[in-house]
Chain A
Amino acid sequence: MPKKLTLFRAFFRRQLAYFRRYFANSLGGMLTLYVVFLLILGGYRGLSGPSGLQGDTTEALVVGYGLWFFMLMTYQDVSYTIRTEALTGTLEQLYMSIHSFGWVMGASVSAAFMANFVMWAVLLGVAMFTTGTALNIDLLSVLPVLIGTLLGPLGIGFIIGGLTLVFKRIESYTQMVQFVLIGLVAVPAERVVWMRLLPGSFGAGLVRDIMVRGASLAEIGAGNLALLFAIGVGHLLLGYAVYKQCERAAMSRGLLGHY
């Protein structure tokens, strides 16, 4: 078996072991997210007055919330993982793999993506049932756009992970990122062109187009898809470059495994 495949397989098996062993805990986490969604929904309905939410506003809220959850999980899969591995003492072991750390994190994120995808699907399903909305679940269209959208949060995850390597206890700042992500999902990147350059924003608009307005991948167009991936890869490379700089500083100062 090729060694890269073995690496990915190791992370998938580890993820599966965690998922199975801590299923009840994952379920509890999802329940919390669902309660938060209900609170947002209730608050939104209350604020919008007697007319309540109409048309595709509720659907957009469901999609936006699901997307924020996915972006947050993806961001945390890098930043939180690096922090936790340093904290528990296993980060140095990951660095002693025969593969570069980029590949190691790639395998880790890919494995986590599967788990996040399942949770996202369940969350969306329950939210749709609660609100009585019907979203366009066209997986062939949604999946590539979703992946392109998540590259931005991945880049942010690498930046925060890198800063954590050097500066260590910066949780109070990193927690702010979850609110930044809400903003990134909510900005009107469809209308304001420069906002498309923000991490995840252009993709969030495209996901809404597919799931709320029923657009297909063909309607999204190859040009938009290419632009989405170009922006996403740009964010990822920028984030990874910052991470490598921080990694170099941490290795030079002997801080890699410290927390």
Chain B
Amino acid sequence: MVRVESLAKTYQGRRGSPPVKAVDGVSFQVPPGQLLGLLGPNGAGKTTTVKMMCGLIRPDAGQILINGTDMVRRRNQALAHVSAVLEGNRNIYWRLSCRENLEFFAGLKGRSPRDVRSEIDYYLELFKLTEKVNTEARQLSRGMQQKLAIAVALISQSEVLLLDEPTLGLDVQASFEIRELLKRMVEEQGRTIILTTHDMNVVQDTCKRVIIINQGRIVADDSVHNLLDLFKVKVYRIVIDGKLTPGQREALENLPEVLLEEENPHETVISVRLEESQVLYQVFGILGAENTVIHSIDQEQNNFERVFLEILERGDQSA
């Protein structure tokens, strides 16, 4: 169980610049066996929050309890329950082999090579690194290095795993493999995983719950499913042959729910955000008046990227 209460951190400005409030009263709890996504735009305070949870940045106020142990007051004891991959493939020693890396980092967490021998074999197999057991990390692909970094974090047997951008810079295949592995770690081993990411596919695919941070504050904390439901909108994309007439364009631009996405001599794409059916009839009326040929009509699927942007936009408006 991870409990974060009223966490705050302000970085003092340098050379006369004003202080920056990176984290401002953040509170949340993560029960065991949950995969939580911590989202937010650049500079929102995600990494500062994660690093405070690892005991690497001292908070100005608030409390972090990892399995009941205070990270600030009893740092070393709390760290027995936490592992992290903060710098991706840079969190391992590139001049050590896969096995040597796993043994070394297990030792840092108090586990001897003899104790972890079978686990090393298990993780190497799980992460498809068995053939690379004696290969130096610098000779691995970026995806393999990333997997090794995660295996290194797992070998410590910490219940809580913190991952900062675990799929950053990876190709589609490697990203997919890591997402699958994370899901397995939660389902099979009951680990608690908190990850930060900008990749909404990762969130939608792996996370049960998300917390969205903006300007140091939590602006949303709910399940991915609920947030998708909450921000459910119907969007239709209408493709017509050729260009609109000036009259059609003017009429469509007067409808706030309509967006002209693309217009060229061959086709025009009109996006209609449907909050009431009447709008769609109006659009069809405008197009039908000039006998415009409709090429296709598609309904867009709601995705988490749209939800994320919507939440941030609403937050900005209320601020």
Q: Please list the residues of chain A having a beta carbon within 8 angstroms of any beta carbon in chain B.
A: 1, 3, 6-7, 9-11, 13-14, 17-18, 21-22, 88-90, 92-100, 104, 248, 251-254, 256-257
Is A96 within 8 A of B54, CB to CB?
Answer: yes
Is B57 within 8 A of A93, CB to CB?
Answer: no
Asked if B58 is at the interface of the complex by the 8 Å CB criterion, the answer is: yes
**Chain B nearest CB, measured from A1 CB (Å):** 5
Asked if B96 is at the interface of the complex by the 8 Å CB criterion, the answer is: yes
**Chain B nearest CB, measured from A137 CB (Å):** 33
Is B108 within 8 A of A97, CB to CB?
Answer: yes
Q: Please list the residues of chain B having a beta carbon within 8 angstroms of any beta carbon in chain A.
A: 9, 11-12, 22, 48, 51, 54-58, 76-77, 79-80, 82-84, 86-87, 90-97, 100, 103-114, 136, 152
Q: Among the listed A96, A251, A252, A256, which residue makes an inter-chain contact with B79, where contact means beta carbons less than 8 Å apart?
A: A96
Specify which chain A residues have a CB less than 8 angstroms from the CB of B108 in the assembled complex: 7, 10, 93-94, 96-99, 104
Is A253 within 8 A of B11, CB to CB?
Answer: yes
Is A90 within 8 A of B12, CB to CB?
Answer: no
Is B87 within 8 A of A21, CB to CB?
Answer: no
Please, how many angstroms separate the alpha-carbon atoms of A231 and B223 in the complex? Answer: 61
Q: Among the listed B57, B91, B105, which residue makes an inter-chain contact with A254, where contact means beta carbons less than 8 Å apart?
A: B57
**Chain B nearest CB, measured from A98 CB (Å):** 5
With A7-B110, A9-B107, A98-B80 as known contacts, state yes or no: A89 contacts B58, CB within 8 Å: no
With A6-B110, A6-B111, A17-B96 as known contacts, state yes or no: A89 contacts B87, CB within 8 Å: yes
Is B110 within 8 A of A98, CB to CB?
Answer: yes
**Chain A nearest CB, measured from B96 CB (Å):** 6
For the residues of A in contact with B, the DSSP-based class is: helix
Please, how many angstroms separate the alpha-carbon atoms of A18 and B107 in the complex? Answer: 17
Is B109 within 8 A of A90, CB to CB?
Answer: no
**Chain B nearest CB, measured from A25 CB (Å):** 11
Specify which chain B residues have a CB less than 8 angstroms from the CB of A6 in the assembled complex: 107, 110-112
Is A98 within 8 A of B109, CB to CB?
Answer: yes
Please, how many angstroms separate the alpha-carbon atoms of A93 and B156 in the complex? Answer: 12
Is B93 within 8 A of A256, CB to CB?
Answer: no
Specify which chain B residues have a CB less than 8 angstroms from the CB of A14 in the assembled complex: 93, 96, 100, 104
